[in-house]
Amino acid sequence: MRRVSVFGATGSIGENTVDLIARAPEAYNVVALTGGRNVARLAEQAKVLNADLAVTAFEECYADLAAHLEGSGIEVAAGQAAIADAADRPTDWAMSAIVGAAGLVPGLRTLRHGGILALANKESLVTAGPYLLAEAKRHGATILPVDSEHSAVFQALVGEDSAAVERVIITASGGAFRDWPLERLSEATLAEACSHPNWDMGQRITIDSASLFNKAMELIETKEFFGFTSDQIETVIHPESLIHALVGFRDGALMAHLGPHDMRHAIGYALHWPERGHVPVDRLDLAAIGSLNFRTADPERYPALTLARYVMETGGLSGAAFNAAKEAALDAFIGGKIGFLDMARLVETVLERLAGDNSLKCDKLTLDRVLDMDHVARKIAQTIVDGDRLRQSGAS
């Protein structure tokens, strides 16, 4: 039996992971499941999978989770430290699917006991890519990408010499506003940004898909994980989202990976790797699909892509600053404090300030440096948001 843990089990990726594990209970020994405030669901998952331990991220949810699991024999814990402790329990395979920078530490702790880390959490590679990869190497752990795009690139590279790669093309659906006139974007509301044309995902990543901040993160992840340069990494709008990525080789061949809009595709690949297991996703009917479309990703419409280029070229602590500013911008948009287009402006301003102070340079990333930068960039973003609010209320 394989020992497995799922961090962020109650989220969109987590639920899909639990679904695959639950289909073959005889194959897995579930060590730990973690979640947030949805303790009823977490408890239900823990019972179905007969997990050793269930952890909620929030201490105030402890009693509720304990009540749901009373008499089950399943251990209960709460808080960020408890999640990190859960990551210390040895596993053969662990899913990192907590949303946001909170996913970094549990992933790092998992690497310490070797095994496989299936990485959905984007923030880990964006904020601390070189450090994360060095830690994996140091402890003999394997990281497998779980985003559909990175799983696609990974699969296209099996058996290939990465020195023969000329370029990688990451596709983007274009998000909720891909067909909106540019001038309307500044008025886009939260509800409008929360509906994705192709994928059913968590709220934050859905908004990030509308702004293409999600794609920006993915470009940075591609650079960090596979070691390609910014010049080699392209993006194209592909409204159908059926091709997840393409790898172009020096003989001109392009290897594309196609699959339905179902994250169990990428999760299942990581779960069964290096074999191919049976994964219950719909099979594509190409004749019914008929055609696939592509358009240029316009940097004016999607300023997040330009910011991603800046981060890929700058390296150091720019990814940590970018991510923290982006998370703060997203919070401010969700909280109704800034408009949709202000998110990219805010991230750009934070990066400019930090670059001006020479704070983004860093020869050797460490966890402390990344966490410090996360803190500093959030604070700057917050100050700018609050300042704008003060100005607005002063003017009214």
What is the DSSP track for 15-75? HHHHHHHHT-GGGEEEEEEEESS-HHHHHHHHHHHT-SEEEES-GGGHHHHHHHHTTS--E
Amino acid making up residue 51? A
Q: By rule CB under 6 A, what string of x and - marks binding of each residue 263-282 to ligand NAD?
A: x-------------------
Q: Please, what is the minimum distance in Å from the beta carbon of residue 21 to ligand NAD?
A: 15
Q: Considering beta carbons, is residue 38 or 198 the nearer one to Mg ion? A: 198
Cis peptide before 274 (omega within 30 of 0): yes
- Which partner in Mg ion, ligand NAD, none is near 14 (CB below 5 to 8 A by kind)? ligand NAD
The reply on whether position 11 binds ligand NAD by CB under 6 A is: yes
Query: Could you tell me the two tokens for 383?
Result: 């100050």
With CB atoms as reference, the residue minimizing the distance to ligand NAD is: 11
Site for Mg ion in 128-157 (CB under 5 A): 147-149
101 binds ligand NAD, rule: CB under 6 A: no
The CB-of-15 to Mg ion minimum distance in angstroms stands at 17
Question: What separation in angstroms does the CA of 231 have from each of 33, 127, 185, 228, 312?
Answer: 39, 20, 29, 8, 10
In the complex with ligand NAD, which residue's Cβ is closer, 122 or 353? 122
Do 153 and 160 touch, CB atoms closer than 8 A? no
| d(C-alpha 396, C-alpha 380), whole Å | 24
354 is a site residue for ligand NAD (CB under 6 A): no
Mark residues 89-128: x for contact with Mg ion by CB under 5 A, - for none. ----------------------------------------
Does the footprint of ligand NAD cover residue 8 (CB under 6 A)? yes
Least distance to Mg ion from the beta carbon of 176, Å?
15
**Cα–Cα distance between 8 and 247 in angstroms, integer?**
30
Residue 197's CB is within 10 A of a number of other CB atoms, namely 17
> Is residue 208 near Mg ion by the rule CB under 5 A?
no
- The footprint of Mg ion on this chain (CB under 5 A) covers a number of residues equal to 3
Verify binding: residue 222, ligand NAD, rule CB under 6 A: no
78 binds ligand NAD per the rule CB under 6 A = no
Residue 97 interacting partner from ligand NAD, Mg ion, none (CB closer than 5 to 8 Å by kind): ligand NAD
User: Which residue(s) pair with 295 in the sheet?
Assistant: 237
Rounded Cα distance, 202 and 211, in Å: 15
Task: Compare residues 64 and 149 and give the one whose CB is closer to Mg ion.
Answer: 149
**How far is residue 122's CA from residue 131's CA, in Å, rounded to a whole number?**
14
Neighbours of 256 (CB within 10 A): 16
Q: Is the dihedral of CA 102, 105, 111, 115 positive or negative?
A: negative
Cβ of residue 218: shortest distance to Mg ion, in angstroms? 6
Q: Which residue, 177 or 213, is less far from ligand NAD as judged by CB?
A: 213
Name the residue number minimizing CB distance to Mg ion: 147
Q: How many other C-beta atoms lie within 10 A of the C-beta of residue 148?
A: 23
Q: Which of residues 17-56 bind ligand NAD (CB under 6 A)?
A: 35-36
Name the minimum Å distance from CB 168 to ligand NAD: 17
| 241 binding ligand NAD? (CB under 6 A) | no
| Cβ-based neighbours of 96, under 8 Å, separated by 6 or more | 7, 8, 103, 106, 107, 110, 117, 118, 119, 120, 121, 124
Contact set with ligand NAD (CB under 6 A): 8-14, 35-36, 57, 83, 97-99, 102-103, 120-123, 147, 199, 201-202, 204-205, 263
| Residues forming the site for Mg ion (CB under 5 A) | 147-149
